[in-house]
Amino acid sequence: MFTNVINPRTEVERKDEFRDTRVGKGATIGANATIICGNDLGEYSFVAAGAVVTRDVPAHALVAGVPAKRVGWMSPAGERLGEDMVCPRTGREFEERDGALVELQPASPAAVAAKLSGEVDE
């Protein structure tokens, strides 16, 4: 469910108070979740069933509760990331930086070969 004004009243017209709410690519909204107007859902975010979103949800965040709070991270493949921050479906690796999820870039084949041959300092 999406609200369109902060303080709705049936007998008071408030169309001039409508606020935009943006839903990012791949975002998931669970059954009976409520998104209060003016709050954006980032790409691949996941709102749990019954949650009430009262602030922006960062990309890849898993939020739950009333009010919704971040309880984890989701991969673009729709899998919850564990403590190792590796997607169990794709093997892609992530880390949290400054409250955001960042994908770690896999090393190039040349870098892996150099590391294995001892040509690169760690």
pLDDT, tens digit (0-9, with 9 covering 90-100), for 81-118: 999 999 999 889 999 999 999 999 865 666 556 656 76
Query: Residue 8's pLDDT is what?
Result: 75
Query: Residue 81's pLDDT is what?
Result: 97
> How many CB atoms neighbour CB 76 within 10 A?
18
Q: What is the DSSP letter of 80?
A: B
Query: Residue 113's pLDDT is what?
Result: 61
Closest to 19 (Cα-Cα) out of 36, 44, 43, 42: 36
Query: Residue 71's pLDDT is what?
Result: 98
Distance CA 111, CA 10 (A): 64
What confidence tens digit (pLDDT) does each residue in 14-61 have? 888 888 999 999 999 999 999 999 999 999 999 999 999 999 999 999
Query: Residue 13's pLDDT is what?
Result: 82
Alpha helices in 3-91 (DSSP H): none
Query: Domain extents for the chain?
Result: 15-117
Which CATH code, of 3.30.450.20, 2.40.10.170, 3.40.1390.10, 2.160.10.10, is assigned to 15-117?
Answer: 2.160.10.10
Query: Residue 110's pLDDT is what?
Result: 66
> How many CB atoms neighbour CB 91 within 10 A?
10
Confidence tier at 9 by pLDDT (50, 70, 90)? confident
